[in-house]
Amino acid sequence: MTATVRTTVPRAAGREPRTGLMRHLELPAEVLFIGVLVTVASLPLVTSLAAAGAGAVLLREKAATERTPTVRRFVSLLAASLRQPVALLAPAAAFAVAAADLLALAAGVPGGRPVGLLIALALTLVVLVGLRGAARWRPGVPWRTALVEAAAVVPRDWGGSLMLAGGLVVLAVVAFEVPAFIPVLPGLLVMAAVAVEGRRTR
């Protein structure tokens, strides 16, 4: 008589295996959840970069280990991000320049239109750097390092930058046409940045 040895695959504690349908349903729901967290954390505006960085970490964790995003984890990442002054100063400077641009256009300053277009282009580049920097940031990585690396990558990986710029345009149109989607759009934008950065490491 031969003994039959039955092997089993260990499961994660407290978790049941998910069916393919459940996995497909969970990912969009979790991305939308992260989008809402990023939107809420970005309401003070100057916290938008830190919020994007925290959301990017949650997305990477979900993709790499299927770790479920939680409010507690997001708040912990956001707090770690906000400990670095650059995370607040960079968005504050960008918003100050954008406000000055809008005021110049509204006041009808001579030459305001071409200057406004140049500033708008510069701000677009700043947003791209911010998004790609947020996709690179993680606890323990200085924001200055993440942003400097992102600034170098934006022109070098022009294909990824164009894809991300296209995503910005599409989401701006969606926000204008269907304002109800605004709370989840930041999560989609962060996901796009993480995807663009991820394709470079493959």
The confidence score (pLDDT) of residue 12 equals 41
What is the pTM (predicted TM-score) of this model?
A: 0.79
The confidence score (pLDDT) of residue 89 equals 92
The confidence score (pLDDT) of residue 111 equals 62
The confidence score (pLDDT) of residue 171 equals 87
155-166 burial: b if 16+ Cβ within 10 Å, else e: eebeebbebbbe
Q: Which parts of the chain have pLDDT scores under 50?
A: 1-22, 24-25
How far is 67 from 59, CA to CA, in rounded Å? 9
> Which token pair is 188?
């989609």
